[in-house]
Structure 1
Amino acid sequence: MRADAFLAAAEALPVRSLREIVPSGGIVVVAPHPDDESLGCGGLIAEACARGVPVRLVVVSDGVGSHPNSPSHPPERLRSLRESETLAAAAALGLSAEHVAFLRLPDRFVPASGPEAEAAAGAIAAAARSCGAGALFVTWAHDPHCDHGASAAIAGLARTLLGGVALHAYPVWGWTLPPATEVGAPPRGARLAIHPHRDAKAAAIAAHRSQTTDLIADDPDGFRLEPAMLARFGREHEIFLEIAP
């Protein structure tokens, strides 16, 4: 199926409640980079926290690839900044810092297999066990970013370790795929209405100031989320695709 048709169908998936998507147990959100959790799952996290559903957030990469040439923010400082932004974002969504883990794999070089990937999968599985998770949520494997695809593969390894926990994918950069890209079978899954949490989600995204403002202005190759991308994630639903075992 072409990406344009797939994503249009994804935007028409049925609207379901959190407990229809995850009938029991907690949830683990796997974010390739600091900010993906807020963009793709901010409403989900806020809804779960509001309903007392246990949540764990696992951030896979160290995030230092966003501004690789900044004199003012060398890797160690940038990593610290991005982690503090993530904790602020989590707090805006109702998630405490103790439930956020940073795996610190190298941004732009997250492995999809091998010992490091297996160790990351083990960390995700441990987070899932700690909250009795009924489901994992990770970026879509077709997102056109190497770390997003690798994180999807790692979450798949974690699912195997957990013995069949449900796995759901959330598109982030998938929305930018060329329309004719082939992405496989039609989507299965659901949309979650996040209207009650849109302000919290907006605050969480805004907490990632290094990615949404000119906070780091000394790297001509530095990354910044464009207004159109931010508008995409300000809508009233989040999309979660069912990933078959």
Structure 2
Amino acid sequence: MASVNKPAINADAELRRIEGDGVPEQAWRESAWLRELPTEDPEHLFAGVQRLVVVSPHPDDEVLACGGLMASAHASGREVLVISVTDGEACYPDQPDWPPERLRDARQLELDRALERLGLAETPRIAWHVGDGAVAAHEADLQRWLRAVLRDGDLLLAPWHLDGHPDHEAVGRACAQAAAACGCGLREYPVWGWHWLDPAVAPRVWEGASRFALAPSLLLRKRQAIEEFVTQTGAVRELTAPPILPEYVLRRFQRDYEVLLS
């Protein structure tokens, strides 16, 4: 990571708030910078890579942000390893029918089904079961665990270290430290950055970003995979709270491309 860590953004946490409906998808569609972003071939990204390691703060972040690239890596014969830092069990604290114990199992099952949709049913997975919302307190542990897992020839995909969610940012920082210590390649993926970042500022903050086109068949599989996260989209019984992933959020991840930051 070089140019994504801009002082103006890094210093002001108020800019990184996840609230309301966020930036409309239409604003991103109208962004000339995003339309003209260099398109990178996945094979160029994977050149010299033996294994793709995708680290996710919560089960669903990896599929939302880079499910297409995970499937592409697998299709090219490369090993894919998926690491879930938390179980995402704290997403509905005020829903008595969805306590953390139930959500913990449900979200891991949803990830299983989503990966199957992507053709990754046999993909190795690691779950570290760090408390949802408490990742920052375990950042040193994450670095140590990652250094024990990473090896030569890995490419690490991690959440953007300024994504706006404390868990995402802590995971991003830990991944950057571990990748540097192990000499692994690192690319970051935004999830909540799409929600709060002004598209007019994106060229400066996300300098060096690349987009990766998804073929229609792969895009369909990714969209089907996202649908498996039923607790997050609200497609379950006994949920009276607004879903974590309403339609206006999902639109950002139903695009026919994915974006990585360098």
TM-score, normalised relative to structure 2: 0.80
2:15 matched residue in structure 1: none
Q: Alignment partner for residue 206 of structure 1, among 199, 222, 227?
A: 227
Question: How far did residue 97 of structure 1 move?
Answer: 4.9
Alpha-carbon distance in 1 for matches of 2:99, 2:122 = 24
User: Number of aligned pairs?
Assistant: 235
**Gaps spanning 5+ residues in structure 1: where?**
none
Report if the CA contact (8 A) 1:140-1:169 is conserved: yes
Question: How far did residue 146 of structure 1 move?
Answer: 0.9
Instruction: Provide, for residues 10-59 of structure 1, a one-character-per-residue CA deviation record: whole Å limited to 9, x for no partner.
Output: 55321111221232121111111111011101100111111111111111
Q: Alignment partner for residue 192 of structure 1, among 198, 205, 212?
A: 212
Instruction: Decide whether aligned partners of structure 1 residues 127 and 86 sit closer, same or farther in structure 2, where only a CA change above 3 A counts.
Output: farther
Instruction: Decide whether aligned partners of structure 1 residues 93 and 186 sit closer, same or farther in structure 2, where only a CA change above 3 A counts.
Output: closer
Alpha-carbon distance in 1 for matches of 2:174, 2:228 = 27
The structure 1 segments of at least 4 consecutive aligned residues displaced by more than 4 Å after TM superposition are 1-8, 180-186
2:14 matched residue in structure 1: none
Alpha-carbon distance in 2 for matches of 1:189, 1:217 = 40
**Gaps spanning 5+ residues in structure 2: where?**
1-5, 10-22
Q: Alignment partner for residue 123 of structure 1, among 134, 145, 148?
A: 145
Instruction: Decide whether aligned partners of structure 1 residues 87 and 186 sit closer, same or farther in structure 2, where only a CA change above 3 A counts.
Output: closer
1:33 matched residue in structure 2: 58
The code of the aligned residue for 2:182 comes to: L
Instruction: Decide whether aligned partners of structure 1 residues 227 and 159 sit closer, same or farther in structure 2, where only a CA change above 3 A counts.
Output: same
- Alignment of 1:176 with 2:195, yes or no, is yes
TM-score, normalised relative to structure 1: 0.85
Alpha-carbon distance in 1 for matches of 2:179, 2:228 = 30
Instruction: Decide whether aligned partners of structure 1 residues 178 and 232 sit closer, same or farther in structure 2, where only a CA change above 3 A counts.
Output: closer
SS of alignment partner, residue 141 of structure 1: coil
Question: How far did residue 8 of structure 1 move?
Answer: 5.8
Report if the CA contact (8 A) 1:140-1:152 is conserved: yes
Report if the CA contact (8 A) 1:22-1:134 is conserved: no
Instruction: Provide, for residues 82-136 of structure 1, a one-character-per-residue CA deviation record: whole Å limited to 9, x for no partner.
Output: 011111111211223551111111112211xx6x32332233334433xx54311
1:138 matched residue in structure 2: 158
1:149 matched residue in structure 2: 169
1:23 matched residue in structure 2: 47
Report if the CA contact (8 A) 2:46-2:73 is conserved: no
- Alignment of 1:240 with 2:260, yes or no, is yes
1:73 matched residue in structure 2: 98
SS of alignment partner, residue 154 of structure 1: helix
Alpha-carbon distance in 1 for matches of 2:147, 2:222 = 26
Question: How far did residue 143 of structure 1 move?
Answer: 1.3
- Alignment of 1:63 with 2:88, yes or no, is yes
The code of the aligned residue for 2:45 comes to: I
Identity score, percent: 31
Alpha-carbon distance in 1 for matches of 2:154, 2:111 = 24
Question: How far did residue 76 of structure 1 move?
Answer: 1.4
